[in-house]
Amino acid sequence: MPDDSLVLRDPGVPTTLGELSALKGEALEIIETRATILHTLRVAAIRATHPEDWLLFKSPAEQGGQIVAYLQDCGCDRVRDLFGIEVFDITPPQRIAGTEAGAFHYVIVGSGRCKFTRQDVENMEGGRSSTDDFCKDKKGPDLELAVRKAARANLDGNITRELAGLKSVPIEELSRAWEGSAKRVEACRHGRGFGSRTERLGGAAEGVPEVAPPICPHCQTPGAYRAAKGDRAAFYGCPNYTKHPQQKFIVPADAWVKRQQEAAAKQAAADPVCKTCNVARSAHAQADHDFDGD
Amino acid sequence: MIAVSPYDIAASIGVAWARVLERERHPTSPHPTVYASAWRPCTRRMVLELTHCDQLPPHSANTLAKFRRGDDRERDLLIDLTRIGREAEPAFGVFGQQQRFALKDRKGRVAISGKVDARLKFDGAEPPIEVKAWSPTLVDRIETFDDLFESPWTRSGAHQLLAYLYGSGEPFGFLLLDRSGLPLLLPVELDPHLDRMEDFLTRAQVALDHREAGTLPDFLVGDAAECQRCPFYGGHCNPPIAHAGTQVLTDPELEELLQRREAVREAGQEYDRLDKEVKARLRGIESGVAGAFAIQGKWGKQSRLELPEALRKQHTVVDPRGRFTLEITKVA
């Protein structure tokens, strides 16, 4: 194979369709090699990050519940060296007053380039607000500086994410890249789509009735609780309803909860539970103590 | 009696501890000379530290605790050293603790200033000594003074002692590194590092010029990692950054070699393990038969150089690029 075609295997070397077609049979091999190198680099970049660097987002269940991962600014620091990211033409940070009293934002603009793919992005923005979480205990010049620094970190992160294509990575891709290492997607942080703040931190969902949900008769999936919204009352629906759009499954929540509570009360009256061991009278024969029904 | 959880007590003590340390925090203010401990690879940062150090975020309680520990260790080690000096051969004294130091530039201005931790008094020599209580992970990697230039976290400390030697015209001094077990006392000679010291002084002079003119030097070029370590990054300094990027190797022969290597990797590991075990068992058997295998062994001469530790150290040369470690992982 001539040296030229070897050089063209590097995705960082510019080429045109004309040049490639002149190489005839070798062109396909060159394109395949370039694609493989890009893929290898992407996997290597993901392997260089930690689960804590990623924030997971989940689409609504009715849209399929797909989970994608977003590489946070701290994670971008780890992949910049691999992609050969450059950040340049940076403007001075601009302070913008917020709508709330005392609140402000910093915005900074810059351009970027990836040496590896030769892609450029121009006039990207990075910004942070004084109301962001990391500013909670800061005030005065300390707060100003923290927001300004975070805006620059966000600009570097935005450029890196854009050029490296790590803004929205399917969770399955993370799992595959971390195979053979101790890194697990379960350790990634949860963001939008994973319920309330309490739920994201592992707590129970707020406002969801504490009764077993109805089961969708069409796909046997437990129904999802949908809280009341505007004029619409709360209801249980199938989270996979897009898979059987012609077969509706909607159960009014109030009626379902009432039925379940009544059934539970009836069950409790017919077969009371021992207060010592929480076992129903019908199954208490094997217990090592007397049934406590008081 | 109020029921209090031990976890609550520990947490409240932690909060109070941080509060006490934070109360002792004193603000930094712009200063006219470069501190001896403030050698930086970026002259722009040196200027910003002269003019804008008061605008940096205050040190956290954790950092203040580290400073406190450093001060405590310095005091304790110097007390120990005073006692040790009476028993050492030749005996020495420890004096001149926290003595002010100033180094003038070619324009006659004090360019670099600091405080020498102490001096050791021998017959005819008074070398300065600098005490450092760095992180154990840093100190574990240090064997000679040259090793200090390998890490971005220890370079400024190395320049600090060189500045003291240069300023007082002493040909040698000592760096005392605290660590678990015996502290490490490193001898430091100025002569091999004169070029570093002259560069420090020149850049301190440039920094002072910029301070007086109210200007800033150009951004540091080609060291994105250093920029991102700098406390002024993003706040007062927004340099362009350029990361090198990974190297693309497009040699199909190399790819084939790697594929083949990967294919036989497990078999190779298995062979190495078995070979080691078999040879360990058969050591010393000069002739034998095991099942279908004939075994022939032979003793041979082996030359070994057994040198006293001091002599071995004297003739040991450290090549910073002598060892190369590769990790090859099939990822795609």
Residue B181 belongs to a domain: yes
Q: What is the pLDDT of residue A10?
A: 78
Domain of A111?
A: 51-178
Q: What is the pLDDT of residue B3?
A: 63
Q: Do A142 and A94 share a structural domain?
A: yes
Q: Do A217 and A256 share a structural domain?
A: yes
Last residue of a domain, one of A128, A160, A178: A178
Computed over every residue of chain A, the mean pLDDT equals 86
Work out how many domains chain B is built from and give that number: 1
Residue B98 belongs to a domain: yes
Lowest pLDDT segment from A170-174, A246-250, A280-284, B210-214: A280-284
Residue B305 belongs to a domain: no
Residue A289 belongs to a domain: no
Residue pointed to by tokens 């530039």: B105
CB B56 within 8 A of CB B230: no
Residue A170 belongs to a domain: yes
Instruction: Please answer yes or no on whether A90 and B238 come within 8 Å at the CB atom.
Output: yes
Q: What is the pLDDT of residue A110?
A: 97
Residue B258 belongs to a domain: no
The continuous run of DSSP H or E covering A242 comes out as none
Q: How confident is the model at residue A3 (pLDDT cuts 50, 70, 90)?
A: low
Strand partners, B233: B237
What are the CB-based long-range contacts (under 8 Å, 24+) for A98-107?
A: A98/A129, A98/A130, A98/A131, A100/A131, A102/A130, A103/A129, A103/A130, A103/A131, A104/A129, A104/A130, A104/A147, A105/A129, A105/A130, A105/A147, A105/A151, A106/A147, A106/A148, A106/A150, A106/A151, A107/A151
Q: What is the pLDDT of residue A294?
A: 63
Nearest CB to A84 within list B243, B252, B329: B243
Residue B120 belongs to a domain: yes
- The answer to whether B234 faces chain A, any CB pair under 8 Å, is yes
| Positions of chain B with pLDDT under 50 | none
pLDDT(A20) > 80: no
Residue B94 belongs to a domain: yes
Residue length of chain A: 294
Q: Do A246 and A160 share a structural domain?
A: no
Instruction: Please answer yes or no on whether B238 and A93 come within 8 Å at the CB atom.
Output: yes
* d(C-alpha A202, C-alpha A200), whole Å: 5
Q: Do A273 and A226 share a structural domain?
A: yes
Give pLDDT tens digits for A64-110: 889 999 999 999 999 999 999 999 999 999 999 988 888 999 999 99
Q: What is the pLDDT of residue A137?
A: 81
Q: Do A126 and A43 share a structural domain?
A: no
Give contacts of A40 with chain B, Cβ < 8 Å.
331-332
Q: What is the pLDDT of residue B309?
A: 84
Exposure on the CB side of residue B20, measured as CA atoms within 13 A: 8
Q: Do A7 and A104 share a structural domain?
A: no
Instruction: Please answer yes or no on whether B235 and A86 come within 8 Å at the CB atom.
Output: no
Q: Do A223 and A119 share a structural domain?
A: no
Give pLDDT tens digits for A130-145: 999 888 888 888 899 9
3 state SS of A223: coil
Exposure on the CB side of residue B87, measured as CA atoms within 13 A: 4
Q: Do A55 and A38 share a structural domain?
A: no
Nearest CA in chain B to A110: B240
Print burial letters for B254-289: b (CB count within 10 Å at least 16), e (below 16).
eeeeeeeeeeeeeeeeeeeeeeeeeeeeeeeeeeee
Q: What is the pLDDT of residue B260?
A: 96
Q: What is the pLDDT of residue A19?
A: 75
* d(C-alpha B127, C-alpha A200), whole Å: 61
Domain of B70?
A: 29-229
Distance in Å, alpha carbon of B231 to nearest chain A alpha carbon: 9
pLDDT(A1) > 50: no
Nearest CA in chain B to A160: B243
Q: Which of B250, B258, B266, B330 to mutate to test the interface with A (most CBs of A within 10 A)?
A: B250
Work out how many domains chain A is built from and give that number: 3
Q: What is the distance in angstroms between the CA of the first residue and the CA of the last residue of chain B?
A: 64
Give contacts of B246 with chain A, Cβ < 8 Å.
41, 44, 81-84, 116
Q: What interface predicted TM-score (ipTM) does this complex get?
A: 0.76
pLDDT(A191) > 60: yes
Instruction: Please answer yes or no on whether B234 and A152 come within 8 Å at the CB atom.
Output: yes
- CATH number (domain holding residue B62): 3.90.320.10
Nearest CA among B106, B103, B253 for reference residue B163: B103
Q: Do A81 and A145 share a structural domain?
A: yes
Query: Hey, what amino acid is at A103?
Result: A
* d(C-alpha B107, C-alpha B65), whole Å: 39
pTM of the model: 0.73
Q: Do A14 and A116 share a structural domain?
A: no
